[in-house]
Amino acid sequence: MYIVLLGSPGSGKGTQAKIISNQYNIPHISAGDLLRFIVYKNKEKYKDINNIMKKGQLVNNSLIISMVVRRLLKSDCCNGFILDGFPRSINQAIFFKKYFGSSIYLVLELLTLNEIIFDRVKGRLIHPISGRIYNTKFFPPINKGIDDFTGEKLIRRNDDNEETLLKRLMLYYKNNILLSSFYNRQNLSGRIIYYRIYGNGNVYDINKILKSIINSYL
């Protein structure tokens, strides 16, 4: 199953993508995690990328496309994947459609209220190497500030502050108008399958809905 998961920052798509990746045994490919990983490993070389991310802007298409394509070419993606944070603009969506050819994929979009997004992002902590996500209020680690699996320190993303979140949300909504109409058209002509799902509830209820959609196309 090939899945593209769309949603604003803080919509819960990273959390759902990780759960679905385990449930269906398909790799979770997060564009943001791929970028954070290279920045974490080589701060000096990628300091421009780090600054772009810190400001809530999008990194250039050629870098993100080459990173995502390189990841999709790995053998674990032949039977499916769940893509999170890509495509994020109409140009990326058109590129991905051409790249993927005539194969059908499922586009699932989470629609989450801004007040819930702000609440989620406020408490978000991540393990920078694995991309594991915690939340001090909704999903705290066993030991405060520590990753449950490795015992390493959790960090707050440098773009998870109110000012940058607002910029990221505005950019998302602006790009999403074109993305959403692109996927609506593709859906109507039967080239892809596109669903929009409310992402305001708890993790398990949202997952149930996503699972029932995915299962109906297996």
What is the x/- site pattern for ligand AMP, positions 15-34, by CB under 6 A? ----------------xx--
CA distance 7 to 102: 24
CA distance 26 to 39: 25
DSSP for 89-154, written as a single string: SHHHHHHHHHHHTT---EEEEEE--HHHHHHHHHTEEE-TTT--EEETTTB--SSTTB-TTT-PBP
Q: Which of 11, 50, 92, 186 is close enough to bind ligand AMP by CB under 6 A?
A: 92
Question: CB of 65: closest distance to ligand AMP in angstroms?
Answer: 8
Residue 191 annotated among the catalytic residues of the structure: no
| DSSP annotation of 173 | H
88 binds ligand AMP (CB under 6 A): yes
Residue 120 annotated among the catalytic residues of the structure: no
Cβ within 8 Å of residue 178, ≥6 positions away: 89, 90
Count interface residues toward ligand AMP (CB under 6 A).
17
117 binds ligand AMP (CB under 6 A): no
Cβ atoms of residues 157 and 124 within 8 Å: yes
What is the x/- site pattern for ligand AMP, positions 144-173, by CB under 6 A? ---------------x--------x-----
Contact residues for ligand AMP, defined by CB under 6 A: 9, 31-32, 35, 52-53, 56-59, 64, 85-86, 88, 92, 159, 168
What are the catalytic residues? 13, 88, 124, 157, 168
